[in-house]
């Protein structure tokens, strides 16, 4: 197995952005920023995205990207729910896979994750698993409810020791999608520190880490898309965690928002255009701008 992209990040105190794609255009936009920023990058694909693109097409796209890339690029299965999905992802050429059995009881999570680790490691593929529940922290949630969603540092240590996973996704207060917080975003940094103490050599992963900035939400509203009330993680928190043992920061919602803003703005400004390459290129530029911004925030720029 070659060196794990996240081991370098752990040593270097930065985080690699893991960006979801489901079309060739989004993948190319992400890659163009990685190359401009001289940054390592993780391109991740969900089960749904894999089906949307089709396995054979994806295989070709992955192989072409690798041939052309001038920076370290790693393909990753995002939220694999079964050994079958993992097998499929490895078959199309992923370098790492996530098995997400976090919704199952602890012992079942250990059992399925261990099977995936055995299968993947035999094939030179790294494994990320998840422990805890990505429920977010609402203002009206009480302390014991709040604690029940976080990853337990003690369980995290036992989980990693028993499964042999290469990285661990933890729950410290984030949530998937556009609506993460009703007021200020926050993360439980105390839990993060405890997990770091229990597992100093394991790269940690932050899911649900899109910023969903107010300016973007307002821009979308002007363009006719109403996600008012959506709010993500603050830039300060993202910057802070990228120097911690969190070595992979996942973002999909921000990509979707940027792509949509680029496309819709172009369509509004060019009312007689019917060439999709034009408005898709505008979408790609927005995605590339977002990704470059994140690579600087996560301090992965210049680390390629
Ligand atoms: O965490 C989930 C990602 O945002 C993927 O979403 O399953 O709709 O492709 P998806
Ligand atoms: P966001 O919904 O915050 O972009 O999170 C995406 C993610 O965690 C993919 O695994
Ligand atoms: Zn996720």
**pLDDT above 80 for 141:** no
CA-based max dimension of the chain: 61
Q: Best of 16, 19, 20 to mutate for ligand 2, by most ligand atoms within 8 A of CB?
A: 20
Q: Is 78 a catalytic residue?
A: yes
Question: Does ligand 2 lie within 6 Å of residue 26's CB atom?
Answer: no
* Proportion of the chain above pLDDT 70, given as a percent: 96
Is residue 280 included in any domain, yes or no? Answer: no
Q: Return the pLDDT at 144.
A: 65
Is residue 121 included in any domain, yes or no? Answer: yes
Is residue 272 included in any domain, yes or no? Answer: no
pTM above 0.95? yes
**pLDDT above 80 for 51:** yes
Dihedral (C-alpha) 176, 177, 179, 184: value to the nearest 10 degrees? 50
Can you tell me the mean pLDDT for 185-190?
A: 95
Cα R_g (the chain), whole angstroms = 19
| Nearby residues for ligand 3 (ion, Cβ within 5 Å) | 207
Is residue 261 included in any domain, yes or no? Answer: no
CA 177 to chain CA mean position, Å: 12
Tell me the ligand closest to 85's alpha carbon: 1
Is residue 115 included in any domain, yes or no? Answer: yes
Q: Does residue 226 contact residue 211 with C-beta atoms inside 8 Å?
A: no
* Arithmetic mean of pLDDT over the chain: 96
**pLDDT above 70 for 140:** no
Could you tell me the CATH number of the domain that includes residue 146? 3.20.20.70
| Integer Cα distance of 20 and 25 in angstroms | 12
Is residue 120 included in any domain, yes or no? Answer: yes
Q: Which domain holds residue 143?
A: 5-217+226-253+291-297
Q: Return the pLDDT at 92.
A: 98
Dihedral (C-alpha) 116, 121, 126, 130: value to the nearest 10 degrees? 30
Is residue 202 included in any domain, yes or no? Answer: yes
For ligand 1, atom 1, the nearest C-alpha belongs to: 176
- Exposure string over 47-67, b if 16+ CB within 10 A, otherwise e: bebbeebeeeebeebbeebee
Is residue 60 included in any domain, yes or no? Answer: yes
User: Binning pLDDT at 50, 70 and 90, where does residue 135 land?
Assistant: confident
Tally of domains within the chain = 1
For ligand 1, atom 8, the nearest C-alpha belongs to: 48
């Amino acid at each position: 197995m070659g060196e794990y992209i996240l081991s370098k990040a752990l040593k270097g105190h930065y985080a690699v952005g893991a960006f979801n794609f489901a079309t060739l255009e989004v993948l190319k936009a992400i890659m163009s920023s990685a190359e401009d920023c001289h940054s390592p990058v993780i391109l991740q694909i969900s089960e749904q995205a894999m089906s949307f693109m089709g396995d054979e097409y994806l295989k070709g796209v992955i192989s072409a990207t690798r041939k052309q890339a001038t920076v370290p690029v790693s393909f990753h299965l995002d939220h694999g729910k079964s050994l079958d999905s993992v097998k499929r992802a490895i078959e199309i050429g992923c370098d790492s896979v996530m098995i997400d059995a976090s919704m199952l009881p602890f012992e079942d999570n250990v059992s399925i994750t261990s099977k995936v680790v055995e299968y993947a490691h035999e094939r030179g593929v790294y494994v990320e698993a998840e422990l805890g529940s990505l429920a977010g922290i609402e203002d009206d949630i009480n302390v014991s409810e709040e604690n029940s969603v976080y990853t337990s540092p003690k369980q995290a240590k036992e989980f990693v020791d028993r499964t042999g996973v290469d990285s661990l996704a933890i729950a410290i207060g984030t949530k998937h999608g556009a609506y993460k917080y009703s007021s200020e975003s926050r993360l439980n940094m105390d839990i993060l520190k405890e997990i770091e103490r229990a597992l100093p050599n394991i790269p940690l992963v932050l899911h649900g880490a899109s910023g969903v900035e107010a300016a973007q939400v307002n821009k979308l509203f002007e363009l006719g898309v109403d996600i008012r009330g959506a709010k993500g993680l603050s830039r300060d928190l993202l910057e802070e965690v990228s120097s911690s043992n969190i070595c992979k920061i996942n973002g999909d919602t921000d990509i979707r928002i940027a792509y949509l803003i680029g496309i819709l703005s172009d369509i509004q400004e060019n009312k007689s255009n019917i060439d999709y390459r034009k408005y898709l290129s505008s979408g790609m530029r927005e995605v590339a701008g977002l990704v470059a911004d994140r690579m600087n925030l996560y301090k992965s720029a210049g680390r390629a």
